[in-house]
Chain A
Amino acid sequence: MQIYRAHVLVCCGTGCSSNKSEEVLRELEKQLQENQLQHEVKVVRTGCLGLCQNGPNIVVYPEGTMYSMVKVEDVEEIVSEHLLKGRIVKRLLYGEPEAEGIRSVDEVDFFKRQKRIALRNCGIINPENIDEYIAFDGYKALVKVLTEMKPADVIDLLKKSQLRGRGGAGFPTGLKWEFAAKAESEQKYVCCNADEGDPGAFMDRSILEGDPHSIVEAMAIAGYAIGADKGFIYIRAEYPIAVKRLRLAIEQAKEYGLLGENILNTGFNFDLEIRLGAGAFVCGEETALLTSIEGKRGEPRPRPPFPAVKGLWGQPTLLNNVETYANVPPIILNGPEWFTQIGTEKSKGTKVFAVGGKINNTGLVEIPMGTTLREVIYDIGGGIPNGKKFKAAQTGGPSGGCIPASHIDTPIDYDTLVELGSMMGSGGMIIMDEDTCMVDIARFFLEFTVDESCGKCPPCRIGTKRMLEILNKITAGKGEEGDIEKLESLAKNIKAAALCGLGQTAPNPVLSTLRYFRDEYEAHVREKKCPAGSCKALLDYVIDAEICRSCGLCAKECPVGAIEGERKKGPFVIIQEKCIKCGTCIEKCPFEAISKK
C-alpha cells in the first residue's frame, strides 16, 4: 500500500469548480510529477468546504493548511515551497495575510465556531471513493442497525434524539418514520428530497457533492426502519456534479453489497434510484415531488392523505430532505444523548446555512442550534463589508421572513424564527445592510414565488401576482393610499386559502417586512421616498452647487442629455424629468458633487 506523507485536498464542489478548481487540480498533479512527489503526496478531489467566495480552496494535510483563491499560476509555488520545502505560502493563506504561523482549517474563525455533523466529511474525504467514507465510520451505522437493532429500536432512538426535519417546518423526524413504519402495505418507499430550490441555498448540494454516501447509508437505514426496500432520490438536474457523485456512490454501494439484495447477509434488501427534477421550485413540496417522481406534472395535492399513508403510487412513503438524512448515521453511532446535548431545548443538533448577501464570508456554515445571529454574522461571517450597518437577515427563502437588527441576539432555532415571523426553511440566510430596501426585498422574493407558482390554486396563482403588482407599483413610486392595507389583506387570505405549503408561506416576506419595516412601506407610498436609497424610481440625482466645479464632464457623459449648464460658468443642473437614474454622472464626477436623494 502506498503511504503518503501529505494529502492535498482540492475542493471540487460547484462553487470552486466554476472557479477552475479542476484546472488547479490538474496543474497540481503535473507539478507533483515534475518534482517527483507523486508517491509522497496524494491529491484528493473533495466536496465543498463552505468558504465558497474564496474558491478555489485547497487544504494540505496533515497540517490542515488552507489556501484560498488558488490560481493555476499559484500551484507551482505551493508545490515547490510547501510540499517540497515545508514552507507555507503565506500570501495564499485563507484569512488575514499578516496572521502568523500555520493557519489550519481548525484555527480559522469561520470553522472554529462551527459544529460539523451533517457536513462532517465534506472537504475531508474523497466523495468518489467509498473506502474513504468507510474509513471515517461510514456504513458503520447501517451495520449497527442491521445487526443489533430492531426497526422499532431505530425509530425509538431517532425519536429520543429529537431530530427535526431540516427541510422546512421542522417536523419531528422520528415521528415521521414511525407513521411510515406503522402504515400497513406490501410496498413502501423511502424518498430523499434533494430538490433544493430556495434562491441562494446550496446546503444539500454540498452534502451530496461532498459526502454522497451519507445519504445512501441513511436512506438504507430508513428503509430498514420503516420496512421499505426501494428508495428514490429526487434531485434537480441543475446539480450535475452532485448527480454524478450520487450515481457513483450508489454504484459503489451496490458493488460492496451495501445496497441490493440481502445486504451483509442480514436478509435486508434495499435499492436506490435517482430521479432528476427539472428545477421547478414547487417540486420541493412533498406531494408535488412525489407526483413528479411518478412522472406527472409536479403539483401539490391536498393532504391528508399524508405521504406516510399514501405517497408514491398510493403506497406509504417516507420523505426527508438531504440534511436530515445526513444527521442520521452520526446519531445512530453516537447515540441520542450525544445529539440532544447540542442545540436548544426544542431544536437539537446543528443546522447548515448558506450565508449570503452583504457579509464578508459568504458560504456554507453548520452551527449548533441556538447560535445567535450576531455570532453568525460577526464571528463566523466576518462582519458586514465596508463598515456598513447590519439591517436584517432573511431566512427561509421565499417562504420565510426577515429578522431585524433589534433581534440580532436571538438564538436561532425553529421556534424562535417562527416567533419572529420567519422560519428555518431549508437554510438560506441572506444578510442585508443599511442600503437594502425592505420593500424591494419583499418584492424580490414575491417575484420568485410568482414565477415558481405551479398555478393550481387561485390564491397562489393570481393572489401572489396581484401582490407583486402592488409591490411593483409601490417601488415605482406609484403607490396609493390603501395599497398597504390591500397587500396585508391579500397576504392574510392567501396564507389561509392556498393549497400547499408554498402558497401558504408565499406572503411571509411581505408580512414580515411589514411587521418590522412598515415605515419604509409608508415612506414609499406617502412621501414617494425610498429610505434605503435603493429604489431607483424614487431617487433624485442632484448636483451639489457648492461642490460643482462646472467641468461639464457629467453633461458630456449623460446618455439622455439630462444635465444642463455651461462649462466654467457656474454649477450644472440635472433636469429631473429627463433623468433616467442610470448613475453614470455619479461615477464620472471627479469631485463627488453628485448624489442620490
Chain B
Amino acid sequence: MKSIAELEEIRKKTLEEIGLRKNKDGYRIVVGMATCGIAAGARPVMQAFVEELKKRNLHDVQVTMTGCIGVCRLEPIVEVISPDGSKVTYVEMTPEKAVRVVAEHIVNGRVCRDLTIGEAEGVK
C-alpha cells in the first residue's frame, strides 16, 4: 500500500463491518427475537434492517435483539428508540416495512404511524 487514500478506504470499509461495536449515539432498533418473533419472520426483518442501514451508510444506528415483548400475535415487533430515549413500537413487520422505517423514521425522523402498535390496535 502506498497511498493514504488506500488507508482511508480500509478504514471506511472495516468501520462498516465493525462499527456496531462503537457508536452508541444514534437510533437503536430492537427486534423481538423470541420463538414467537422468529416464527413470525423476525429474522429476515432484522437482516433487512442491517442491510438497509449499511446501504445508506448509517453507522450510528444499532440493531439489537430482544426477547418476547408479550404481544405475540403482533410479531414481528420492532422498537425504534431515538437518541433522546423516546420509543416507537412497530408491529407485524416485514422486510419491506423495515426498509420504509429506515427511510422515513431513521433518516427523516418521520414516524411511520400506520405501522405502529397504536395504529394496528386501533384498526382492529
**What distance in Å separates the Cβ of A397 from its nearest Cβ neighbour in chain B?**
34
Given contacts A1-B17, A61-B20, A84-B38, contact A264 B7 (CB under 8 A): yes
Query: Chain B residue with minimal CB distance to A130?
Result: B10
Contact B7 A84 (CB under 8 A): no
Contact B24 A106 (CB under 8 A): yes
Given contacts A85-B33, A131-B14, contact A7 B7 (CB under 8 A): no
Q: Which residues from chain B contact A147 at a C-beta distance below 8 Å?
A: 4
Asked if B35 is an interface residue, CB under 8 A from chain A, the answer is yes
Contact A86 B2 (CB under 8 A): no
Contact B7 A134 (CB under 8 A): yes
Contact B7 A139 (CB under 8 A): yes
Query: Chain B residue with minimal CB distance to A124?
Result: B21
Q: Which residues from chain A contact B3 at a C-beta distance below 8 Å?
A: 264-265
- Residue among B11, B16, B33, B50 making CB contact with A84, cutoff 8 Å: B33
Contact B16 A7 (CB under 8 A): no
Contact A4 B34 (CB under 8 A): no
Contact B64 A85 (CB under 8 A): no
Query: Chain A residue with minimal CB distance to B62?
Result: A62
In the complex, what distance in Å separates the CA atom of A490 from the CA atom of B112? 80
For chain A, which range describes its interface: under 10, 10 to 19, 20 to 34, or 35 or more residues?
35 or more
Given contacts A62-B62, A85-B33, contact A5 B47 (CB under 8 A): yes
In the complex, what distance in Å separates the CA atom of A332 from the CA atom of B37? 48
- Residue among A9, A85, A256 making CB contact with B21, cutoff 8 Å: A9
Query: Chain A residue with minimal CB distance to B42?
Result: A86
Asked if B80 is an interface residue, CB under 8 A from chain A, the answer is no
Majority DSSP secondary structure for residues of B touching A: helix
Given contacts A85-B34, A85-B67, A265-B2, contact A135 B18 (CB under 8 A): yes
**What distance in Å separates the Cβ of A520 from its nearest Cβ neighbour in chain B?**
49
Contact B18 A143 (CB under 8 A): no
Contact B63 A143 (CB under 8 A): no
Asked if A257 is an interface residue, CB under 8 A from chain B, the answer is yes
Query: Chain A residue with minimal CB distance to B10?
Result: A134
Contact A134 B14 (CB under 8 A): yes
Residues 38-89 (chain A) with a chain B CB within 8 angstroms: 40, 61-64, 82-88
In the complex, what distance in Å separates the CA atom of A258 from the CA atom of B10? 13
Contact A86 B32 (CB under 8 A): yes
Majority DSSP secondary structure for residues of A touching B: loop
Q: Which residues from chain A contact B124 at a C-beta distance below 8 Å?
A: none
Contact B47 A40 (CB under 8 A): yes
Contact B13 A7 (CB under 8 A): no
Asked if A125 is an interface residue, CB under 8 A from chain B, the answer is yes
Report B60-71 CB contacts with A as 1/0, cut-off 8 Å: 001111111000
Interface centre among B3, B11, B31, B34, by most A CB within 10 Å?
B11
Asked if B15 is an interface residue, CB under 8 A from chain A, the answer is yes
Asked if A3 is an interface residue, CB under 8 A from chain B, the answer is yes
Contact B21 A62 (CB under 8 A): yes
Residues 1-38 (chain A) with a chain B CB within 8 angstroms: 1-7, 9
In the complex, what distance in Å separates the CA atom of A137 from the CA atom of B12? 10
Q: Which residues from chain A contact B1 at a C-beta distance below 8 Å?
A: 256-258, 264
Q: Which residues from chain A contact B22 at a C-beta distance below 8 Å?
A: 124, 136
Contact A87 B10 (CB under 8 A): no
Residues 1-59 (chain B) with a chain A CB within 8 angstroms: 1-4, 7, 10-11, 13-22, 24, 31-35, 37-38, 46-47, 50-51, 54
Contact A3 B17 (CB under 8 A): yes
In the complex, what distance in Å separates the CA atom of A85 from the CA atom of B40? 13
Report A234-266 CB contacts with B as 1/0, cut-off 8 Å: 000000000000000000000011100000110
In the complex, what distance in Å separates the CA atom of A85 from the CA atom of B67? 6
**What distance in Å separates the Cβ of B81 from its nearest Cβ neighbour in chain A?**
12
Q: Which residues from chain A contact B47 at a C-beta distance below 8 Å?
A: 5, 40
Q: Which residues from chain B contact A61 at a C-beta distance below 8 Å?
A: 20-21
In the complex, what distance in Å separates the CA atom of A520 from the CA atom of B76? 68
Q: Which residues from chain B contact A40 at a C-beta distance below 8 Å?
A: 47
Contact A62 B64 (CB under 8 A): yes
Report B82-119 CB contacts with A as 1/0, cut-off 8 Å: 00000000000000000000000000000000000000
Asked if A564 is an interface residue, CB under 8 A from chain B, the answer is no
Q: Which residues from chain A contact B16 at a C-beta distance below 8 Å?
A: 1, 3
Query: Chain B residue with minimal CB distance to A5?
Result: B50
Query: Chain B residue with minimal CB distance to A143?
Result: B4
**What distance in Å separates the Cβ of B9 from its nearest Cβ neighbour in chain A?**
10
- Residue among A4, A64, A131 making CB contact with B10, cutoff 8 Å: A131
Contact A87 B4 (CB under 8 A): no
Asked if A566 is an interface residue, CB under 8 A from chain B, the answer is no
Q: Which residues from chain A contact B15 at a C-beta distance below 8 Å?
A: 135-136
Report A306-340 CB contacts with B as 1/0, cut-off 8 Å: 00000000000000000000000000000000000
In the complex, what distance in Å separates the CA atom of A88 from the CA atom of B19? 22
Contact A86 B11 (CB under 8 A): no
Query: Chain A residue with minimal CB distance to B55?
Result: A3
Contact A86 B21 (CB under 8 A): no
In the complex, what distance in Å separates the CA atom of A85 from the CA atom of B76? 12
Q: Which residues from chain B contact A6 at a C-beta distance below 8 Å?
A: 20, 64-65
List residues of A whose CB falls within 8 A of some B CB: 1-7, 9, 40, 61-64, 82-88, 106, 124-125, 131-132, 134-137, 139-140, 143, 147, 256-258, 264-265
List residues of B whose CB falls within 8 A of some A CB: 1-4, 7, 10-11, 13-22, 24, 31-35, 37-38, 46-47, 50-51, 54, 62-68
Can you give 13 A-B contacts (C-beta < 8 A)?
A1-B17, A5-B20, A6-B65, A7-B21, A62-B20, A85-B37, A85-B67, A106-B24, A134-B14, A135-B17, A147-B4, A264-B2, A265-B2
Beyond the given A84-B33, A264-B4, could you list 15 further A-B residue pairs with CB under 8 A, ordered by the A residue number? Answer: A3-B50, A4-B20, A5-B63, A5-B65, A7-B18, A62-B62, A63-B64, A85-B34, A86-B31, A86-B66, A87-B66, A131-B10, A132-B18, A257-B1, A265-B3
Task: Name the 9 nearest CB pairs between A and B, nearest first.
Answer: A86-B65, A135-B14, A86-B33, A87-B67, A62-B62, A131-B14, A62-B20, A135-B15, A257-B1
